[in-house]
Amino acid sequence: MLLHQFPDLQWLKQQANNHFADRKGIGGIDLPSTGWPNVVINVQSHSVVRDQIKGPLSLFSNLTGSSNMIVDGRRTQLPPGYFFLTNLHQHYTLEVANKQGPATETFNIHFGEDFSRRALAVLFNPAGDFEDDGKDESTFPNCLIPIDIAFSQKIEAIRSLTHDPQLEEVLLFELLDLLIHHTNKLHAGVARVPLQKASTRKEILRRLLMARDLIYSSPAGSPGLEEMAAAACMSKFHFLRLFKEVFDETPVQFARRCKVEEAKRLLTRTDLPVSRIAVALGFPDSSTFSRTFRQVEGIYPAGYRSNTVY
């Protein structure tokens, strides 16, 4: 179900809190089961607050503009080019406050409870022995996720859907598969940390992801090492060692690469001149930006733009 306006907030809260027990969706349509249905919300807005909604497994994103997500008391800025993930039964708040600039275009994917339960049972158990291994949506960490080409292709396919519930389910299933792949990479990284307790690894990953989210959400700000360590609630050198072990590069290297990834997005999806992109990403001048871009990508920004078809 693709919506181009937000559902009435009070109605949605009541339905979510009651687990959609009456099996009624937007406009009174009949739902096949209780619990959240599959819903994709693509809305342009300048100012909106969707506070304390008990949601399903969800991916929030902005095609243009930015928003803020608040989950478990933590506020995360959500820029274009990223998803923010929330889990089943978590309360989330979505804030858009962009009254003077262009509208923010949100693209939020809410996975239906029955659908995600069945899909994840298959994806977590690819051998197909038809046994429930007990894994569910709570295995996913709350964090920003870069929207790579594979994710982007699924978004565009969903946006272009007419009324085709079966194809929608196929695309959502494929999105969940990509999400699991991303999460498995995170777990593989933290598994390199020589610790005995899984709970300690989980806590380390949670803290490092808060620092990573800070980097993702401020490509022009270039947070310093002390700021990143503080976001992870670690000492500077402890943070530096663990970040390198888990993500296989230093925080400074990671932040530089994120700047280049954002530059690639701006080069392919906007007509901004290279000089404007350099300023937007916090580089002192175009020459420094071009050199940095070439060091990472092996090509200058202008050449990348002319050689890339989006």
Last residue of a domain, one of 156, 189, 222: 189
Query: At 152, is the pLDDT very low, low, confident or very high (cuts 50, 70, 90)?
Result: confident
pLDDT at 109: 95
pLDDT at 137: 41
One domain for residues 7 and 149: yes
- The mean pLDDT value for 194-219 works out to 86
Is 186's pLDDT higher than 80? yes
pLDDT averaged over the chain? 87
Identify residue 59 by its one-letter amino acid code: L
One domain for residues 94 and 202: no
Is 127's pLDDT higher than 60? no
One domain for residues 110 and 163: yes
Q: Which carries the bigger pLDDT value, residue 101 or residue 44? A: 44
Cβ count within 10 A of residue 285 = 10
- The mean pLDDT value for 157-174 works out to 87
Q: Mean pLDDT: which of 60-74, 260-274, 292-306 is highest?
A: 60-74
Q: How far is CA 16 from CA 20, 22, 34, 165, in A?
A: 6, 11, 10, 22
- The mean pLDDT value for 233-253 works out to 92
- The mean pLDDT value for 105-129 works out to 84
- Domain extent, residue 308, equals 194-310
pLDDT at 37: 93
One domain for residues 223 and 285: yes
* Across 51-60, 171-180, 216-225, least confident range: 216-225
Is 308's pLDDT higher than 80? no
One domain for residues 185 and 206: no
One domain for residues 88 and 225: no
Domain count, the chain: 2
- The mean pLDDT value for 302-306 works out to 85
One domain for residues 29 and 173: yes
Q: How far is CA 77 from CA 5, 13, 32, 62, 159, in A?
A: 22, 23, 35, 11, 24
HEC sequence for the chain: CEECCCCCHHHHHHHHHCCCCCCECHHHCECCCCCCCCEEEEEEECEEEEEEEECCCEEEEEEECCEEEEECCEEEEECCCEEEEECCCCEEEEEEECCCCCCEEEEEEECCHHHHHHHHHHHCCCCCCCCCCCCCHHHCCCCEEECCHHHHHHHHHHHCCCCCHHHHHHHHHHHHHHHHHHHHHHHHHHCCCCCCCHHHHHHHHHHHHHHHHHHHHCCCCCCCHHHHHHHCCCCHHHHHHHHHHHHCCCHHHHHHHHHHHHHHHHHHHCCCCHHHHHHHCCCCCHHHHHHHHHHHHCCCHHHHHHHCCC
| pTM passes above 0.75 | yes
One domain for residues 146 and 273: no
One domain for residues 117 and 224: no
User: What is the domain-level CATH number for residue 176?
Assistant: 2.60.120.10
One domain for residues 111 and 16: yes
Last residue of a domain, one of 143, 167, 189: 189
Query: At 126, is the pLDDT very low, low, confident or very high (cuts 50, 70, 90)?
Result: low
* Pairing of the two strands 82-86 and 144-146: antiparallel
Q: Which carries the bigger pLDDT value, residue 288 or residue 127? A: 288
Is 203's pLDDT higher than 50? yes
Query: At 259, is the pLDDT very low, low, confident or very high (cuts 50, 70, 90)?
Result: confident
Last residue of a domain, one of 159, 189, 219: 189
One domain for residues 36 and 101: yes
